Amino acid sequence: MTREERKVILASSLGTVFEWYDFYLYGSLAAVIGAKFFGMYDETTRNIFALLAFAAGFLVRPLGALVFGRLGDLVGRKYTFLVTILIMGASTFIVGILPTSDQIGFLAPIILIVLRMLQGLALGGEYGGAATYVAEHAPNGRRGFYTSFIQITATAGLFLSLLVILSTRSILGEAAFAEWGWRVPFLLSIVLLGVSVWIRMQMQESPAFKKMKEEGTGSKAPISEAFGQWKNAKIALFALLGLVMGQAVVWYTGQFYALFFLGTVLKVDGFTTNMLIAWSLLLGSGGFVLFGWLSDKIGRKPIILGGCLIAAVTYFPLFHALSQNANPALTQAHETITTTVSVDRSTCSFQFNPTGTAKFTQPCDIAKAALARLSVNYSVENTPGQRDAVVRVGDHQISTAQPDFAQALATAVTAAGYPAAANPTVFKMASALDIFSPRGLTLVGILTLLVIYVTMVYGPIAAALVELFPTRIRYTSMSLPYHIGNGWFGGLMPATAFAIIAQTGDVYSGLWYPVIIALATVVIGIFMIPETKDRDIFADDAGGTPRRRSPHGLEPESSLP
């Protein structure tokens, strides 16, 4: 790898660091941000608005993919993703200096949501530009290895944000952090922005784009050509369903859902949960480069689809093992204590609530949601005509008709034998080095294995997407399926998992969402996605047909679905 190629990778990768640094910052600090910018509402409402502001960034990503993808295919890769990094970095920094609702009233939440939407728009164009730029600088046979460095920086962004939050909290203390210290991680993003812009200003346009411009074979309408013509649109559709959809759920399960499961379901404290995830990221992240390099040797499909398949087959035993080591008393309660909800099933809802705004007020829904939040396994007995839900936990019986139902249920659950959140069997770390015990090493080992699955599906994905599309519409075409897959299929993971848990009464049943999606991707990918590792992306013809190297030279690619 030459010095110039290393600079190309660094310049492109810093944007991905930004993306996930910001994502984790806002996600981790949503409760604090809700209190600061939606302070005119009660706690429940302001938390809902904080989550809606968070979701706004996801919802506009596909729009950003179209806007900046088109610009990148018309004007060039370098200038487009220089614009995206400026918008993204400035928006993140401004959150750190934005006055709160106590200072400027309703303007505060309005500006916050606008900033989140700007971040989402910029992020929609950032990844496609970075992946395309690096891939078009990489020599044939090395694209998987080169683009894998973009993938590893996604985890680097998470890891960096985790360290910044933990360090700031530790140095300032919880009181100061809640008052003003939460701004520090956002303000520090200016350093990332400065370095990113300085490096990107020195970059040259990609060779493939310059060649296309010189030959006059560029597209005049990238969006309509990419998605208005079925021959191109179907490739984007199959890329979404046969690659990105599965990659997204494996990515979110291995990092975000594992974090949610440890903290919310298994009741492990926040510091321990974050440190366990940090150790697993540190140990497993080298897999991004390893599997990117390996995909140059054996192909993109075997690794991405293999990762989806292995993950789907092993998720249930791995999460069971996670429970047994993180909270043995809770695991024993799941196995020995019988809990039932007696109610008319026709009054029960599927509690899918991705934005946090839906209200489920039927007695059945109230009972099931309360049990799910308490991490209790239960079954539902259908009692036609019975309006109130009656919960039986061991020898205890509680009805939703009781005015203190939530408190009474929590007391009954504990009395029946479910452990309190702070029970002595819960794994707890006092420092970063407390993993060196049999349980600590086992937990880190399980989480690291989940991260390795992430590296399998995510390491080669940039190269695979770049190679599916011709230069003239590459930026536009690859960005949209990537952001729909990761923003929607991946982003819906927590809400869908909770709804499934509440519906079934099994704390592990939320895993069916990534298992089914990953298996669907395996089937679709096997039959509908061609292997692309041998394609020469510099040899696209004027009509946009990718060509493959063969012993006879460059030949038209005929294996596209």
Render pLDDT for 312-345 as a digit per residue (tens, 0 to 9). 999 999 999 999 999 999 999 999 999 999 999 8
Evaluate whether 387 touches 349 at the Cβ level (below 8 Å).
no
Three-state DSSP state, 424: coil
Three-state DSSP state, 398: strand
DSSP state of 472: G
> β-pairing, 339-343 with 396-399?
unpaired
Residue 335 and residue 351: Cα distance in Å, rounded? 25
The helix (run of H) or strand (run of E) holding residue 377 is none
Which residue segments constitute the domains of the chain, with CATH numbers given? 3-325+431-556 (1.20.1250.20), 338-416 (3.40.30)
Residue 12 to residues 60, 201, 269, Cα–Cα distance (Å): 22, 12, 36
Q: Supply φ then ψ for residue 212, to 5 degrees.
A: -65, -40
What is the structure's pLDDT at 99?
Answer: 92
Residue stretches of the chain with pLDDT short of 50: 541-545, 547-561
Residue 238 and residue 224: Cα distance in Å, rounded? 18
What is the structure's pLDDT at 125?
Answer: 82
What is the structure's pLDDT at 540?
Answer: 54
Residue 84 and residue 70: Cα distance in Å, rounded? 13
Evaluate whether 227 touches 239 at the Cβ level (below 8 Å).
no
Residue 471 and residue 540: Cα distance in Å, rounded? 7
Evaluate whether 464 touches 303 at the Cβ level (below 8 Å).
no
Count Cβ neighbours within 10 Å for each residue of 143-179 and write b for 16 or more, e otherwise. Answer: bbbbbbbbbbbbbbbbbbbbebbbebbeebeeeebbe
Evaluate whether 280 touches 441 at the Cβ level (below 8 Å).
no
Residue 554 to residues 472, 529, 536, Cα–Cα distance (Å): 18, 20, 8
For the chain, what is the mean pLDDT?
85
Residue 319 and residue 300: Cα distance in Å, rounded? 27
Amino acid at 121: L
Please tell me the pTM assigned to this model. Answer: 0.85
Q: How many CB atoms lie within 10 A of CB 62?
A: 21
What is the structure's pLDDT at 70?
Answer: 87
In this structure, what token pair is assigned to residue 497?
């998992």
